[in-house]
Amino acid sequence: MPGLLFQMKSPRRAILFIDGSNFYHNTKETLGESLNIDFKKLANLICNKFNLELKQIIYYNSIPDISDDKDVYYKHMSFLDNLKKEGIVVKTRKLKKIKQLNIKIEKGIDVMIASDMIRETLIKKECDVCILISGDADFIPSMEIIKESGYEVIVSCPKIGFSNELRQGHFRYLVLKKEDLLKCLKE
């Protein structure tokens, strides 16, 4: 069965799902500042560690309201446009304002990521492995569905903000150390 042997040796296809806000804040805490991460370098670093073939990178983030601060809005939109130019799929939702508390919160991003992980793996069969870049344990139910269906989810995040629940042995994981992140900076 030469075909089967070839399939076993060829790397499994992976899609990287990045929870942008979670990654940004955890990376900023780890590095002490916000640095410009090259997500393709990050994806390749992780895929090489697990012998995976990178198929796609999907980046999720909220968009601030232009009326709140035009400079922040345009800077954020420029960042997202640059990701698109690099071939990264960008999916967004608007930040939700809670006027009574005078705060803005991200709503719907985690559900969008979880839905896309299930869709891309179980429905579209676009990947064999989902790589989740987030430290948020809210993803565990969707990760379990994927795992129970015979696929794999690997989770990766800087140690700061990486839920202990995600690292309890149910899923493979990679803690992104400061030196890993520094290797992934844009030139």
Kindly report the length of the chain: 187
Neighbouring CB atoms inside 10 A of 13's CB total 17
Q: Supply the pLDDT for residue 104.
A: 67
- The model carries a pTM of 0.90
Both tokens assigned to 171: 């899923």
Query: What tens-digit pLDDT sequence spans the chain (187 residues)?
Result: 444 444 456 789 999 999 999 999 999 999 988 778 999 999 999 999 999 999 999 999 999 888 778 998 899 999 999 999 999 999 999 877 666 666 667 778 999 999 999 999 999 999 999 999 999 999 999 999 999 999 999 999 999 989 988 888 789 999 999 999 999 999 8
Q: Which domains does the chain have, with CATH numbers?
A: 2-183 (3.40.50.1010)
Give the separation between CA 58 and CA 110, rounded to whole angstroms. Answer: 13
Place of tokens 């071939």: 87
Q: ∠ at Cα 163 (31, 76), nearest 5°?
A: 50
